Amino acid sequence: MTMLGLGPLHTRLPLADDTVIEKLFGTVIDQPVIFPPTRIDHERISRSPARSGGRKTAPQTQANQTDTSGNTTASVASANTTVSPDSSTSAPVTPSDNSTAQQNSSTSASSTDVSDNSTASQSSNTSTVSTPVASGNAAAPAAVMGLDSSHLSHNGLSLGFLPDGGDAGGTRQTMADINSAVGQVSSVYGWYGQAVSGTLFDGAQLTAVIDDVKASGAVFQPAVMPVQGWKGLTSSDNSQAVAIAQVMKKFTDQGIPVWLRFAHEMNYYQTDGTYMGNAADFKVGWAAVAAACKSIAPDVKMWWTPNVASAENYAEYEPDDMSTVHLVGIDFYPKSLQTGKEFLDTMKPFHDKYAVDGRMFAIGETGLGYAGTPAERFSWLSQVTAARSEMKNYVSAAWFNYLKDYDYQIVSLKTPSLTSDLKSFLAAS
C-alpha cells in the first residue's frame, strides 16, 4: 500500500503504489484526477510521524449518510465578486483545479487572480466582504470565547472531545453519550467537515450534529478541510469562503460558540496531497475565510492549528495578518513518552511566540501517536493538563476519542472501566 509521511525534517517517504492514492484522493500527487469523493466525519487513518507527532493520513470526503438530521448534500448559495485586495494577502498562486461542479451561487471576494480550470456553472449574487482589521480581531479572554467554567476541566484547563464518528471501526458517539458516561459536561466539541474544491460547502457533516452540539452547551470546534484545491478561497473568488462562513452562522445564530479550525494541519496535509498547493495558497485561503466570517458570522473565532513541526515550519505557515487569528494551537500525537515533558517542551515555545496580543492557546486534538495502554493515555493526558501552569494563555484541549486504526479512547461506551479510570483521573487534583 502506498504510504506518505513525514520524517523529522518533513521529507516525503517513498511511494510504493499510486493506485491506492488514486482511490483515496483521486490523484497521484502530480496529476490530479478530480471525482466526487466519499466524505466521512473524521480524518484519521494513520500516518508516519512529523517530528514525533502525527498519526494519520488524509480524509476521504463526501457526505456521511449515517445521520438523518441533515447529512445529505444540499445546494448552497455561492458568490463571485471582486473587491480590492487585502494588503496582507500573499502573492497570487496558480493551483490547478479541474472540478466540474454545477452550482447555484452567491459570493463575494477580494482580489488576486488565480489560475483555475474549473468549469462550474454559477449564477451569482454579489456581496462585499470587508477586510479584517486588527481592532476587530484581537482575541478576547477565554470566558468571552464561550468556555463555561462550570463544564469539564482539570487543573483549570477546559477539556472536551472529538466523539467517535463510528465510521472507522468504532461505535458512533454523541456528546450526550460522553457527558452521560463521564458525569460532567464537556467544555468543547470537535468535528470534521471537508470543503471540496469546485463544490460549494454545504456543511452537511457539521449540521448533522448541530442538535447534539447545542444540547451539549460546548464550544463547537469544527475542522473545515479544503480538499482537492483552493477554488473559491482566493482573493479574486471567495465563494467557498462565503459558503463556509454561512455554515458557521447557522451555529452562531443558535447561540453556539464556534472556534473554526480552517485548514488545520495545513503544514502536513499539503505534503500528502490532501490539501493542494503551498503555504501561499493556505495564507490566501485563510484571509478569505477570516474576512468572510468577520462579515457574515462575526462571532466565529478563527483558530490556527498546524501539525507539530519546527519553528521554521510554523513561521512559513503563519497567517500574514495575525490580527485575524483569535486562537492558536498545535495538533500533537506523541510517538513515545520518555521524559514526561514531551508536551511542555513541544508546546511552550509555540505558545510563547504566538499566544500573545490577546490570542489564546488551545489544543484542537490530541491523543497518543501509537497503540498505548490506558495507563499511557492517562499519562499523556496528565502532561496535557499540567502544562497550563507554565502557559498562561492555554485555555482548552480536546481529546481524539476514536477507536480507529488503534484505540485512542479515554471514554468508552463499551468499556466502562476505561471511563471509570477517567473519572478517577479527573477527581485527582
All residues at 6 or more sequence positions from 46 whose CB lies less than 8 Å from its CB, including other chains: 55, 56, 57, 404, 405, 406
Residue whose C-alpha is closest to residue 328's, from 339, 341, 317, 338: 317
Of 269, 280, 392, 406, give the one whose Cα is nearest residue 331: 269
What percent helix, strand, coil does the chain show, rounded to 5? 30, 15, 55
Q: Which residues contact 67 (CB under 8 A, 6 or more apart)?
A: 208, 209
Close Cβ partners of 315 (under 8 Å, ≥ 6 residues apart): none
Length of the chain measured in residues: 429
- DSSP-derived letter for residue 131 is P
- Considering the candidates 43, 318, 342, 365, report the single residue annotated as catalytic: 365
Q: From the candidates 43, 265, 318, 342, which is the catalytic residue?
A: 265
> How deeply is 360 buried, as exposed, middle or buried, from its count of CB atoms within 10 A (0-12, 13-18, 19+)?
buried
In whole angstroms, what is the distance from residue 206 CA to residue 208 CA? Answer: 5
Give the other-Cβ count within 10 Å of 226's Cβ: 30
Catalytic residue list contains 318 = no
- Asked if 316 is an active-site residue, the reply is no
Alpha carbon distance 285, 319 (integer Å): 10
Q: Say if residues 302 and 318 touch (Cβ distance below 8 Å).
A: no
Strand extents, DSSP E, 134-291: 153-154, 157-163, 188-196, 219-227, 259-262
Residues noted as catalytic: 265, 365
